[in-house]
Amino acid sequence: MQVMILMALVRADMPDISSQRYLKRRGHVYDCERCIRSKELFYNRSIYGQVGSHLLEEDIDITATYTDASGVVRISTVKSKDLSASWVWQNPDNKSHDQLYNDQVKEHLFQPVRETVESSGPTDKHRSGEEIIPYQEEAPMNPLKLKRRQLRQERKQSRTSELMQLDKNAENQMQAEAIERSQKLNTTARGKYSIWRKDYENQNTDFTLKLMRDQVIMAKAYGSIAQSKNEIGLYNSLMKHIKESQRAIGEASSDAELHPRALDRAKSMGHALSLAKDALYDCFVVARKLRAMIQSAEGNINAMKKKSAFLIQLAAKTLPKPLHCLSLQLANDYFLQDYGSERQNTDKLEDPSLYHYAIFSDNALATSVVVNSTVLHAKEPEKHVFHIVTDRLNFASMKMWFIVNTPVGATVQVENIDNFKWLNSSYCSVLRQLESARIREYYFKANHPSSLSDGADNLKYRNPKYLSMLNHLRFYLPEVYPKLDKVLFLDDDIVIQKDLTPLWSIDLQGMVNGAVETCKESFHRFDKYLNFSNPKISQNFDPNACGWAFGMNIFDLKEWKKRDITGIYHRWQDMNEDRTLWKLGSLPPGLITFYNLTYPLDRSWHVLGLGYDPALNQTEIENAAVIHYNGNYKPWLDLAVTKYKSYWSKYVMFDNPYLQQCNFNE
């Protein structure tokens, strides 16, 4: 006999407990009348333990229709003997029997009773279809296990309640804090435009000055919008407040420098901005206006940068009035007193056993500081010889200064570069380039396309001093001093703070030039000075090679002559006539000429940067043997870094009559 059963696949862990119990313990059977009577007999007997075991002798084919997990209806046939003992026959219409069964289960929940179902029924084919699977009650749960389950459930509920309470407390606390902050916020403060800015809450900063500057910017934006919308009254009000705020700000850089009524101006401006915002505020329009203002400000900044670069170069290269006065006074006395006919003893000038210095300069005052500071720290001043070379224009003043201010014990020689007859255009590449019409136009014609658009870097190299022979004479030291073995080259913008005689005893290990390297990480390496896009440079030099500084260099002239250093210099200068290998100046050709021929000295010998870097280490400056004011901020200019100027000025003889006459002040 086939019986149709409607089943639903349900997972064992679904939350619907009643459905689980229903499917797990019972199955719906819809059959004929005789089957129903057999099922009722089974229920009645199973409750009182009267169902016979012979019912299991016959098997029943059950055709089941069910829905799988994907929702597809499926049909399957099972044997009644394959069902578990928990499956029972049930009449859906017999509700009283269900109640009796439930009561019986509750009554025997904790009683480990095992019942046998027996039945004596007919044995014919039809009667065999009435035989049912015996119902066997499951063993009741252990009381201890049930107690643990109850305790776990209680702990879970307790923890859930606790977490919900914590979340509620945290939410209440956050709400209370937010309410407290909102109550403390004074939204009616008239003088506090942009009150959401945290930096305006910090009383330790110059927030009033910043606030007023921001107010001026916003007032200009709203003023422009008001003018475009023909809001003349509002426009005039904003313009008035802008002028008042700008007068209150003035040149102030901190709140302490503001006008006493600056805060009142800020409050008035805040009120005006509030009115403007109420009347004109449109997010898109305001954003567009601010973008336009930013672009305009960037253009003005770039123009000012170019102008500033030009003016800095002009101020750095222009001779100050006191220095011009000093040069004129010295030259006048030199010719009036006829010092030109005097002859100097040349014995010490060519003695290689003495300490020889080479200084090439057109600044008498700066050169005097170099000589004075060197002699002051020398242990044996009488062994020090200074060879000074200047141009024809400044020769008389330089000569006169050292005639009347000869350093004690030391020997000073002053020469005119124009007297070096061997230094001519046929021998010197720089002089030959100077005669080029293109170079003269580049440097000396105002209508050349070298306007302020060139920028700071190009303006620096447009200075004709970079073609001056005083700047390039350092590459001709063996020709200038043919009888000397070693020479210490010094720039005129340095100060000596220690005895330099140990430099002559340093073993250069076959190198020509002894110098302090200037590279730090990626700074001051060859690729910063030379054009490595040109194969002439890239194929001969390492872009990561460390740079070094002119200003204090010990040169081995014997090794110089052996390696023909001047010839190397000439060859590279000729290749750079079109200025494609490097910009003009003496350092790039120096790096090339002395490539792999420079011995690195200890950094304490030479500290650079006092002419441009105000953040140098003070200890390094004070411990250095030589400090160098390389850069635009020379110590004799008003541009000089104030805290570095004293290192130089203490070697200036301010009580000298010439300096007093030309108004030099400490």
Distances (CA, A) of 481 to 20, 114, 389, 425, 555: 113, 127, 12, 20, 12
Rounded to the nearest integer, the mean pLDDT of the chain is 78
Predicted local distance difference test score (pLDDT) of residue 216: 92
Nearest in space to 25 (alpha carbons), one of 85, 77, 75: 85
Tokens describing residue 583? 């910009």
Q: Specify the pLDDT at position 187.
A: 52
Same domain, 332 and 290: no
The answer to whether residue 292 is domain-embedded is yes
Provide the pLDDT for residue 341: 62
Residue 653 lies in a domain: yes
Q: Is residue 443 part of a domain?
A: yes
- pLDDT for 332 equals 93
Same domain? 338 vs 283 = no
Give domain status of residue 19, yes or no: no
* Same-domain check for residues 476 and 541: yes
Residues 412 and 285 in one domain: no
Are 458 and 520 members of one domain?
Answer: yes
Amino acid at 469: M
Q: pLDDT tens for residues 359-415?
A: 999 999 999 999 999 999 999 999 999 999 999 999 999 999 999 999 988 999 999
H, E, C per residue of 28-55: CCECCHHHHHHHHHHHHHHHHCCCCHHH
Are 308 and 431 found together in one domain? no
Please, is 561 exposed, middle or buried when counting C-beta atoms within 10 Å of its C-beta (0-12, 13-18, 19+)?
middle
DSSP three-state, residue 349: helix
CA separation for the pair 529, 582 (Å, rounded): 6
Indicate whether 131 belongs to any domain. Answer: no
Judged by phi (left if over 0) then psi (alpha if -120 to 50, else beta), residue 499 lies in beta
Q: Are 350 and 328 contained in the same domain?
A: yes
SS (H, E, C) 233-302: HHHHHHHHHHHHHHHHHCCCCCHHHCCCCHHHHHHHHHHHHHHHHHHHCCHHHHHHHHHHHHHHHHHHHH
**Which residues is 64 bridged to in the sheet?**
5, 76
CATH number at residue 356: 3.90.550.10
Angle between helices 232-249 and 207-228 (to 10 degrees): 160
337 and 273 within one domain:
no
Q: Say if CB 237 and CB 272 are below 8 A apart.
A: yes
For residue 56, what are its two tokens? 């299991």
Of 317, 349, 368, which residue sits at a domain end? 317
Domain that holds residue 411: 324-447+454-662
Last residue of a domain, one of 297, 317, 337: 317
DSSP 8-class letter at 348: G
Dihedral sign computed on CA atoms, order 15, 21, 26, 28: negative
Both 306 and 349 in one domain: the answer is: no
**Cα 309 to Cα 313: distance, rounded to the nearest angstrom:** 6
User: What pLDDT sits at residue 125?
Assistant: 39
Q: Which of 317, 352, 367 is the last residue of a domain?
A: 317
Q: Does 427 map to a domain?
A: yes
Q: Measure the CA–CA gap between 442 and 438, rounded to whole angstroms.
A: 6
Query: Which pLDDT value is given to residue 461?
Result: 52
Report yes or no: 208 and 266 within 8 Å, Cβ to Cβ: yes
Pair (288, 376) in one structural domain:
no
Tell me the chain's radius of gyration from C-alpha atoms. Answer: 52
Residue 140 tokens, joined = 């009741």
**71-116 pLDDT, tens digit each:** 667 777 777 666 655 555 555 555 444 444 444 444 444 444 444 3
Domain membership of residue 116 (yes or no) is no
Number of domains in the chain: 2
Return the bridge partners of 606, or none.
626
Question: Looking at the domain assignment, is residue 584 inside a domain?
Answer: yes
**pLDDT score at 602:** 94
Q: What spatial distance separates the first Cα and last Cα of the chain, rounded to whole Å?
A: 127
Helical (H) or strand (E) element with 162: helix 143-184
CB 386 within 8 A of CB 411: yes
pLDDT at position 375: 96
d(CA 656, CA 663): 11
Judge if 375 and 435 occupy the same domain: yes
Residue type, 2: Q
Do 551 and 647 have their domain in common?
Answer: yes
H/E element, 95: helix 95-107
DSSP letter, residue 513? E
Residues of the chain with pLDDT under 70: 1-59, 66-72, 80-141, 185-205, 340-345, 437-467, 521-523, 666
* Nearest partner of 617 among 638, 637, 643, judged by Cα: 643
